[in-house]
Chains A and B, each alone.
Chain A
Amino acid sequence: MTPVLAVKNLVKIYRTAGAPVPAVRGVDLEVEQGEFVAVMGPSGSGKSTLVHVMAGLDSRTDGEIWLAGERVDTLGEAAWAVKRRKHIGFVFQFFNLVANMTVADNVELPALLAGQSARQARERRDYLLGELGLTAQADSPPGRLSGGEQQRVALARALANQPTLLLADEPTGNLDSGNTRDVLRLLKAVHGNGQSIVLVTHDARVATMADRVLTLCDGQITDDGRIKGRGGGVSDVVRLRG
């Protein structure tokens, strides 16, 4: 089956005033339909840059990005934006909700931008707000909500267009343990419905919910494996790169 996402020899180098800073240094990765992949690694290892570049939120320096079997990194910005709306949902660490719109409008916006009818967009919005327990907050501005609630709104927004792939960058990084538990429970439920997910986290508790854990160090994948607990602690080797 075609992977929902494939990157080949992906490179990202930041060119600032000083010397060029390589953040991602030749990453190869395929994410299969329905897979839940966690990306771990120390601060500065490039894990956040990697998902931003994969989502097209930041440009790549070199390499290829394939979304649902189609190469997107060679598309123009407008054409890629269309693909992105259709295929990618993104959850940020700091929510990134539009402050002067209601919760309901935040969730509805991506569907309208993607060209769905107002009725379809509204139905999808109502369904998501219900599923994520946010119906009562629909008419509030996001700023009135707690951090955990705002992240649930961000998750609803990311799912508005039924994306092929959900990307999340430290979605629990700014939440207390109770809200972390809520967001994780929802991600698990979404994954249970067949949603493919790539999630960046430094929190091993969060990472072990995934089917597969990648370790990034200094812009390169140094391990890629499935976690199998329950006593034995043995995990089968998928690939091991030095």
Chain B
Amino acid sequence: MRLQLLALLAKEPAHGYELKQALEQTFGNAYPSPNIGQIYVTLGRLEKDGLVRGVDVEQSNRPNKKVYHLTAAGLDTLAIWADEPTEGPRVRDEFFMKLVLAPMTGMADRMALITRQRRHYLALMQDLNQLLAATDRGNRYAILLIEGAMLHLQADLEWLDRCQEELL
């Protein structure tokens, strides 16, 4: 979450709760809502690394709040992030590891593993379908995030078919 927070702070200084709201509003319901505690912990680490600077702002009849600003070092880190390609397709798939290794333990058979996983993916697809229907068409980022998840699931399901054809 470090770079997401830095990117938001590049736009304007903000306190922790504002960052949480900005993430939720941008990415919509499909995005796992960030835990506020985790945001504060991350901001603390970013501050320790010199990437952000927290400034206490006094509030009348409420405790002070800390507003975070991006530092020059923070800006450099963001520039590197923006220039780099992002991680490509994974070759370290948790389910595939299980599919290959679990039968060797005698604890699971491949057909049962594939069937359970397929049902799990289909159930996730159904959830995403409902989420998509409930998402405001105007929120393009949220729509695209859900559509991306659906396309990945479709590929995962087709890969399961391939595994079933090849291994069973």
Contacts and interface: CB of A to CB of B under 8 A. Distances in A.
Are these two chains actual partners, yes or no? yes
Interface of A: 40-42, 45, 202-205, 207-209, 213, 215, 217-218, 222-223, 225, 227-235, 240, 242
B125 A242 contact: no
B108 interface: no
B25 interface: no
A200 B165 CA distance: 19
A232 B153 CA distance: 17
B122 A207 contact: yes
A172 to B, nearest CB: 13
A86 to B, nearest CB: 33
22 contacts: A40-B157, A42-B161, A202-B158, A203-B154, A204-B121, A204-B125, A205-B129, A205-B150, A208-B129, A215-B115, A217-B161, A222-B164, A223-B118, A225-B119, A227-B122, A228-B123, A229-B122, A229-B123, A229-B124, A229-B125, A233-B123, A233-B127
The 9 lowest CB-CB distance pairs between A and B, nearest first, are A229-B126, A233-B123, A42-B161, A229-B127, A208-B126, A229-B123, A235-B119, A208-B125, A227-B122
Contacts of A213: 122
Nearest to B164: A217
Contacts, number: 72
B126 A227 contact: yes
Contacts of B129: 205, 208-209
B161 A242 contact: no
A89 to B, nearest CB: 25
Contact of A217 (B119, B150, B165): B165
Given A42-B158, A218-B165, A222-B111, A204 B123 contact: no
A223 B164 CA distance: 12
A119 B124 CA distance: 48
Contact of B162 (A42, A230, A232): A42
Contacts of B120: 233
Interface residues of B, number: 25
Contacts of B118: 215, 223
Contacts of A203: 154
A6 to B, nearest CB: 24
A213 B165 CA distance: 19
Q: Is the interface of A mostly helix, strand, loop or mixed?
A: loop
A222 B115 contact: yes
B130 interface: yes
B127 A231 contact: yes
Contacts of A230: 126-127, 130
Nearest to B161: A42
Interface in B125-160: 125-127, 129-130, 150, 153-154, 157-158
A208 B125 CA distance: 7
A222 B165 CA distance: 11
Given A42-B161, A202-B158, 5 more contacts: A205-B129, A215-B115, A217-B164, A222-B115, A233-B120
B161 A41 contact: yes
Contacts of B122: 204, 207-208, 213, 227, 229, 235
B149 to A, nearest CB: 11
B119 A242 contact: no
Nearest to A236: B119
Contacts of B111: 222, 242
A204 B158 CA distance: 9
Nearest to A44: B165
